Amino acid sequence: MNKPLSSPEISIVLLGASFVTGNLGVNALAWSSIKVIRNRWPGARIVLVGVSRNPGYAEIKMDGRDEAFLTWPVRYCTNLLASHHIARLWLAVVVCRLFRLPRQRLAGNNSTLGELLRCDLVCDITGGDSFSDIYGLSRLFRGYLLKRTCQMTGKPFILLPQTYGPFKSSLARRLARIILERTATIYSRDQEGIAVVEELTGPSRKVKLCPDVAFIMEPVRPVTGHIAHLEQFKATGQRLIGLNISGLLYHGGYTRDNMFGLACNYPALVREIISFFAGQANLQVLLVPHVLPDADFAVEDDLVAAQHAVQGLPSEIQSKVTILERGYDQNETKYVIGLCDFFLGARMHATIAALSQGIPAVAMAYSRKFTGVFATAGVADCVLDLRTLTNDQVLHGIMTTYRRREELRAVLAKTVPELKNLLFHMFDGIREPAALSDNREVLPAFRR
């Protein structure tokens, strides 16, 4: 293991990770990225860039203590003169590279730029699955602009474990290639991602397989009466079945017209799943929202979808269904998922919260990202692709997997500790700060 470094020795900018999106999966990636960085460099100064609209702090609990991390926004609005706008940031970096200006003179009041110029290393996790045009070319392009701007500072750029592709357009592939060719180390959380990267850039030793970082996120018990009630229920010997309903799938995607090309009727499917499990003796169904955004993004809201799905079900079914309300953070929600005996979900990080605690889980997949991540845990056969399966086929797959739950629990007991160990050693071999950046004051010349 490399010798730990103190905070004056290394400063790291973290991109694509946030605690303010309302998406607990993105929160889990942010928390876990900080955890793996701190494991390698315990005293590292970590700054989150590209977060929200205004500067602030991300306050989290880690290793039993409260911590606050500085956050700086990057904006993409039509007002190019807005503070922290990506266009101004990009132009400042270009000018600095052309004329080799000292960072203090150029950064001025643009502290986002200041953080980029003084850091030793940039790490980017791209929200886990946004290095693709699956959510639209505009999201990929915004990510490209920030990535490329950071790379132009000359600071080493690392892509943390994430999904690469699919890329539906030639422009998306071109943008991805530009970023990948200028990245020092590329971690993929699945084998298919490695194939995608090497198809774009050619075989390279800088591409490495690494598990999703959220496998190491720690559960934290919430102190609420609701949780105490669930624990009492479990103490009686009854089983708890967890289900995450994706608001995005429930509403047909952002376009509200089956954006992801599902072969099943998702709203009807989740009602059938609830009815199946709630109709059995000694079982209670717990609905666990994992994306709880602001009202402006109701199309993504898992809680709204869960509430709507339960409405209209027979009263005897509703009486055996509990919905987890708002107010729980990523670590607390993981604890709640850990109370379940079996879990199903369409939000991947909700299912990772189960797998990482040794709980058998079914991924109700809408993209290929699920298969690769589940494969790293040895349970790829627990992925049901909603793009190819009908309601009856999905239900049959769920029932089959449920009957195998003890077998799957044994598999996870072996694979999950191995995944966590890989994550805690993922930065072994990364060079010391002095080798990472030769000059914090002046940016290097343009790369030809």
Nearest to 380 by CA among 396, 362, 392, 399: 362
pLDDT for the residue 2: 41
Q: What pLDDT digit, counting tens, does each position of 374-402 carry?
A: 999 999 999 999 999 999 999 999 999 99
Kindly report, residue by residue over 414-445, the tens digit of the pLDDT. Answer: 999 999 999 999 998 776 655 544 333 333 33
Per-residue pLDDT at 104: 55
pLDDT in tens, 251-281: 999 999 999 999 999 999 999 999 999 999 9
- pLDDT per position as a tens digit, 297-311: 889 999 999 999 999
216: DSSP letter: G
User: What gap in Å lies between CA 385 and CA 387, rounded to an integer?
Assistant: 5
pLDDT at 242: 99
pLDDT at 295: 79
| Rounded Cα gap, residues 381 and 180, in angstroms | 31
pLDDT over threshold 90, residue 4: no
On the 0-12 / 13-18 / 19+ scale of CB atoms within 10 A, 71 is buried
Residue 13 bridge partners (DSSP): 47, 122
Share of the chain above pLDDT 90, in %: 77
- Write out the CATH class of domain 219-418: alpha beta
User: Residue 109: what pLDDT?
Assistant: 52
Residue range 8-31, pLDDT digits in tens: 569 999 999 999 999 999 999 999
The CATH topology of domain 7-210+426-436 is Rossmann fold (3.40.50)
| pLDDT above 70: percentage of residues in the chain | 92
DSSP 41: S
What residues does each domain of the chain span?
7-210+426-436, 219-418
Provide mean pLDDT across the span 270-296. Answer: 95
Residue 148: is its pLDDT beyond 70? yes
DSSP for 298-335, please give it. GGG-HHHHHHHHHTTS-HHHHTTEEE--S---HHHHHH
Q: What is the pLDDT of residues 331-346, one digit of tens each?
A: 999 999 999 999 999 9
pLDDT at 294: 86
Q: Please tell me the distance from the alpha carbon of residue 126 to that of residue 163, in angstroms, as a whole number.
A: 9
- Residue 305, φ and ψ in degrees, nearest 5: -65, -40
**Phi, psi of 84, rounded to the nearest 5 degrees:** 65, 20
Q: What mean pLDDT value characterizes the chain?
A: 91
